[in-house]
Amino acid sequence: MDYKQIDEHSAVIRTLKENDIKIKPKGYSMYPLFVPGRDYAVITHIEPDKLKKGDVVLYRRHDNTGILVLHRVCRIDKNGFYMVGDNQSEIEGPLEKECIHGKLIAVERNGRMFSVNNIVYRFISYVWLLLRPVRMPVAKSAAAVKRCIKKMVKRNGKEQ
């Protein structure tokens, strides 16, 4: 890991203790909630004891990378917190509460803010988490059907 990355992460965590922060998530682990390069996450400091299942949190991984990750809490028990990305099926954890630094409070998309307290957001998040065991096979099946349809349309276009 490079030192610049560690310094940037430390600055984010220090800032978060006093102010809300707005970050641009990278990668597709939280797709479709976040599209890289388009959306922002507004994060606030939170005491981990106040977290609940379904909250999206900013935490530092306890592996050799030590990167900051924004994932959803899928389970909390006596061993700690368990996280999963919205576009993932693998659960990460248990994580100690010291790893958790903030909680998502809003999403900014195309200049508009969406609160995580919005009833529609909360419902979709609940259902999305509930579907975790089956969403990857369903997504793969849907992608396969889409590819087949594209091939058929392409073939039909060439035959004419």
How do residues 105-117 score in pLDDT, each as one tens digit?
999 999 999 999 9
Q: Is 82 contained in some domain?
A: yes
| 64-103 pLDDT tens trace | 677 899 999 999 999 999 999 998 888 999 999 999 999 9
**45 domain residue, yes or no:** yes
Evaluate whether residue 27 is within a structural domain: yes
Q: Is residue 152 part of a domain?
A: no
pTM: 0.79
> Mean pLDDT in the chain?
86
Would 61 be classed as within a structural domain? Answer: yes
Evaluate the CA torsion angle 76, 103, 88, 3 in order and state its sign.
negative
Domain assignment present for residue 104? The answer is yes
- Which CATH number does the domain housing residue 90 bear? 2.10.109.10
Enter the DSSP assignment of 42: E
Q: How far is it, in rounded angstroms, from Cα 67 to Cα 108?
A: 22
- State the residue range of the domain holding 22: 3-132
Q: Does residue 40 lie in a domain region?
A: yes
- For residue 16, give the H/E element and its range: helix 3-16
Domains of the chain: total: 1
The model's confidence at residue 8, banded by pLDDT at 50, 70 and 90, is low
Determine, yes or no, domain membership for 139. no
